[in-house]
């Protein structure tokens, strides 16, 4: 099967959705003529032109709000935040307007908008550019939040996000953009396209002794930890990739924990009210009698992102940390 980078897979999703629905429009800083700050939208402006691929000024509150307003009229904007970290300057537009206008209007309005961009640490860009706000976005009812861990999921989930009629916060990773995974051609697929519904988790590796529950880049950390644990310690890990934070596929999590009886929730959030906090609480409530050990959590170390490259590396979860945590449970 062909291999595709994460950014290329996203680009294919945009291209296919631009072709499918004339209401789909891509907007953001440098997405058009510059071909994208991270080259995710490369070539799309040349193909689709000024109407469908639009460069915006550096004006997040303004252009995100503009996209929200357009979505109320039935346009389907896919808005790039060059970094998800910039969500703070568009907070009111994202939370109060995209997230709450449906509720406050008693269901008269909906916002079919996608906000997307990289949301990760680990690239030595300092605390302001290293936010992972999936826990924050998912804490607002009305929002949906997606964090793909690989190119295949990124493409399928992006297509679902664009077709969704609610606001979807789509979080990518600059660390993953250049990495490649197997992504089938549409002609190889039974439905003729790659489409992954929101709210469906995926077991990325089957195992019997402990469940590693994760999303986004941390899934890859867990897969590497699982390899080490299997090969060096004979411990069989099941890796559950949440894929979507909200809606959340709790059943797949619970099924896995009921099988392995142990759970470690791994993400790159800061630990206070992280995604892992929510998952740990749900597991404790619904799988209490199945657990042989307390649910463990691993997040990034609880301080703003460190700039210094070797130190930042230690601040985010890495395979050895997961390995050590799992070994401590047996």
Chain residues binding other proteins by CB under 8 A are 25, 51, 56-57, 59, 61-75, 92-93, 96-97, 101-110, 112, 141-142, 144, 160, 164-166, 197-200, 244, 246-250, 278, 282, 285
268 assigned to active site: no
Three-state SS string across 9-21, please?
Answer: HHHHHHHHHHHHC
Sign of CA dihedral 201, 205, 208, 210: negative
Q: How far is the CB of 325 from other proteins (least distance, A)?
A: 25
Q: Which of 12, 17, 80, 129 is catalytic?
A: 129
Task: Give whichever of 22 and 294 is closer to other proteins, judged by the CB atom.
Answer: 22
Q: How far is the CB of 70 from other proteins (least distance, A)?
A: 4
Question: What is residue 183's DSSP assignment?
Answer: -
Question: What's the CA gap between 40 and 78, in Å, rounded?
Answer: 13
Q: How many CB atoms lie within 10 A of CB 195?
A: 16
Task: Give whichever of 18 and 326 is closer to other proteins, judged by the CB atom.
Answer: 18
Q: How far is the CB of 255 from other proteins (least distance, A)?
A: 14
Task: Give whichever of 60 and 312 is closer to other proteins, judged by the CB atom.
Answer: 60
Question: What is residue 149's DSSP assignment?
Answer: -
Question: What's the CA gap between 201 and 151, in Å, rounded?
Answer: 15
Question: What's the CA gap between 269 and 273, in Å, rounded?
Answer: 9
Q: How far is the CB of 87 from other proteins (least distance, A)?
A: 14
Task: Give whichever of 147 and 226 is closer to other proteins, judged by the CB atom.
Answer: 147
Q: Which of 29, 60, 268, 312 is catalytic?
A: 60
Task: Give whichever of 100 and 314 is closer to other proteins, judged by the CB atom.
Answer: 100
- Angle among Cα 193, 46, 90 to the nearest 5 degrees reads 80
Three-state SS string across 258-284, please?
Answer: HHHCCEEEECCCCCCCCHHHHHHHHHH
Q: How far is the CB of 219 from other proteins (least distance, A)?
A: 17
DSSP-H helix ranges across 83-165: 91, 101-104, 134-138, 151-163
60 assigned to active site: yes
Active site residues: 60, 129
């Amino acid at each position: 099967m062909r291999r595709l980078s994460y950014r290329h897979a996203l680009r294919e999703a945009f291209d296919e959705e631009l072709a499918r629905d004339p209401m789909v429009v891509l907007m953001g800083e440098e997405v058009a003529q510059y071909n994208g700050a991270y080259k995710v939208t490369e070539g799309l402006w040349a193909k689709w032109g000024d109407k469908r691929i639009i460069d915006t000024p550096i004006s997040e509150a303004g252009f995100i709000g503009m996209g929200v307003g357009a979505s109320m009229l039935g346009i389907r904007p896919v808005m790039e935040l060059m970094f998800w970290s910039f969500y703070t300057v568009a907070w009111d537009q994202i939370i109060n307007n995209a997230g709450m206008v449906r509720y406050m209007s008693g269901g008269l309005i909906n916002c079919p908008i996608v906000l997307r961009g990289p949301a990760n640490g680990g690239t030595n860009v300092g605390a302001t550019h290293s936010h992972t706000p999936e826990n924050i976005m998912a804490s607002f009812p009305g929002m949906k939040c997606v964090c793909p861990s690989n190119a295949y999921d990124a493409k399928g989930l992006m297509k679902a996000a664009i077709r969704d009629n609610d606001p979807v916060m789509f979080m990518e990773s600059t660390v993953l953009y250049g990495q490649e995974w197997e992504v089938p051609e549409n002609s190889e697929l039974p439905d003729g396209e790659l489409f992954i519904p929101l709210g469906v988790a995926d077991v990325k590796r089957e195992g019997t002794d402990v469940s590693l529950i994760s999303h986004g880049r941390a899934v890859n950390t867990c897969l590497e930890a699982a390899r080490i644990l299997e090969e060096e310690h004979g411990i069989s890990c099941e890796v559950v990739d949440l894929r979507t934070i909200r809606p959340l596929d709790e059943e797949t999590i619970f099924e896995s924990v009921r099988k392995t009886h142990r759970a470690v929730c791994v993400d790159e959030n800061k630990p206070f009210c992280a995604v892992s906090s929510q998952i740990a609480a749900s597991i404790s409530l619904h799988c209490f009698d199945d657990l042989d050990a307390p649910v463990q959590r691993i997040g990034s170390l609880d301080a703003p992102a460190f700039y210094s490259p070797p130190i930042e590396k230690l601040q985010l979860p890495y395979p050895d940390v997961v390995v050590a945590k799992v070994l401590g449970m047996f």
